[in-house]
Structure 1
Amino acid sequence: MTVFIAGVDLASQTAQTGLAVVSAGDSTLRVETLDVGADDSAIIEAIRQSVKTGVDVPLGWPDRFVDLVSAHHAGGPQQCADWRTEAVLRMTDRVLKEDFGLRPLSVSTDRIAYPALRWSGIEAQLKLLGIDTARDGSGRICEVYPAGFLFQHGLKHRGYKGAAGAQVREEILRSLRLVMSDEHADLCVADDNALDAVLAALSAHTVLTGKAYGPPEEHRQTALREGWIWMPRTDN
């Protein structure tokens, strides 16, 4: 049985948004479609047609950040002594830092907030369509981290972005167990947004097949609000 898995490298602007659809069947992963320049409707349609979609964007904000801003907005007292951690980093960001030594961008303080705001609008549209968008990754959507996928597979997870990273992207492609056309491969080498979309789909495949680390039970409720980055397992 062949299933379809989507990967989204979400940017604030359509022009920089990568979208990949990968088929999985008979132990083969194949890139079926790949595009840079995906608008919201294209993303939503890909999600509708896929059993799982990996999205490279924070799905939520830190609980303490939300509390702090809400209290400030209401003019009430705000107390967050350790704001550099609790209000800046989500629980999943802290776990990635502690367990893997990785430092994803802060959705509270960095420019990644712009695509996160875009995602909040897409999430709302998906909910209207009855699609399970649980931020802990238990539904049709899972939050993924392309650099984390590369890290877990022993590939270069830094220095592969931009024009200067084209050769590194070519090396990464040669290491992936994946079937794709020359056209799609060329696009991945030319544009890191395309490669990240493919990596997002591959990450979603690890989630679908039970080969990824999700939120531990003690953080499940937090993950439902803040989102959770799923990391590929290396012990199977």
Structure 2
Amino acid sequence: MVAISDTVDALTAGIDLSANPRKTGVATIAWDGDAATVVECAVGHHDDAALCEVVRAAGTTGIDCPLGWPDAFVDFVAARRDGGHDLQIPPDRRPLTYRATDLDVWERTGVRPLTVSADRIGSVAMRCAVILAMLTRSGTVVDRSGRGPVIEVYPAAALKIWELPHRGYKGQDPEARRVRDELVNKVTDTFPRLDLADFAQACRDSDDALDAVLCAVIAGYARQGRCEPSPEGLRDLASREGWIVLPGPAA
């Protein structure tokens, strides 16, 4: 069992954000070196204010949600608001629908993130923007480029990097539950020093709970310097669009 320090540096949190608070998963992990114990894991118990408290209590929090929109999309919408007489759809629409980090993750892992400007995840990002604004007003500095106490993470891409199943585990149909059960077993095998404690069954029962734990694990990797922040040359862009922080290999 991990000895939990009184300092926030010993804690990381993970938030599997949903537009619906009842589908939002939250996990907190206590770290002692590379040993970790899940000390909180819950789904549907956190409103926006409670999520802010989770972030403030942890050293680093990983949020599974886009932290911004593509610059090109924002410019397109602003131009449309202002009249839009010269609007044209470019031959390559990807800059309108995918952020630089989405294209980077897609190229490097083969896992394609949802598009925040064209998929339903946009409604989740709206909630996330409000939460980040609440944190900023209360004095928590949020750097969307992946440097700071709040980082954007993507469990599916992390699972792919860790050579674990990254598809088919979401939902409550029998096949999804079977895949998720197998995934929890493989996660514990891959990370023998990760103690799910009393929350192993919660992860088997809910993909929201499992993703929250994975978000907290990635946050732990980030605190240990085992993640890559945004490239220096893209830092300014990432500070607006957000940047998915990818972990290094499981070790």
TM-score > 0.5 by shorter chain: yes
> What TM-score do the two structures reach when normalised by structure 2?
0.90
Q: Which residue matches 1:213? A: 228
Mapping 1:88-99, distance limit 5 Å: 88-99=97-108
1:126 aligns to what?
135
Change in 2 beyond 3 A, CA 1:53/1:35: same
Deviates further, 211-220 or 62-71: 211-220
Query: Match of 2:63?
Result: 55
CA distance in 2: counterparts of 1:102 and 1:112, whole angstroms = 16
Distance change >3 Å, CA 235–CA 54, structure 1 → 2 = closer
Residue matched to 2:196: 180
C-alpha displacement of 1:235? 8.5
Query: Which amino acid is 2:147 matched to?
Result: S
1:99 & 1:27 partners in 2: Cα distance? Answer: 26
Tell me what 1:171 maps to.
182
Corresponding position: 1:136 with 2:152: no
Note the residue ranges of structure 1 that are not aligned, 5 or more in a row. Answer: none
Identical-pair percentage: 40
Aligned counterparts of 2:91 and 2:60: Cα–Cα separation in 1: 36
Which of 17, 20, 34 is equivalent to 2:24? 17
Structure 2 residue 156 is the aligned partner of structure 1 residue 147: yes
CA distance in 2, matches of 1:81, 1:228: 24
Partner of residue 72, structure 2: 64
Aligned counterpart, 1:227: 242
CA shift, 1:26, in A, is 4.1
8 A Cα contact 1:68 1:80, kept in partner: no
TM-superposed CA distance for 1:217, in Å, is 1.3
Deviations 1:33-69 (A, max 9, x none): 0100121122111101000000000000000000000
TM-score normalised by the chain length of structure 1: 0.95
Contiguous gaps of at least 5 residues in structure 2: none
Q: Which residue of 2 aligns with 1:162?
A: 171
Partner of 2:94: 85
- What is the number of residues matched between the two proteins? 235
Q: After TM superposition, give the deviation of residue 79 of structure 1 in Å.
A: 4.1
> In 2, Cα distance between the equivalents of 1:195 and 1:145?
13
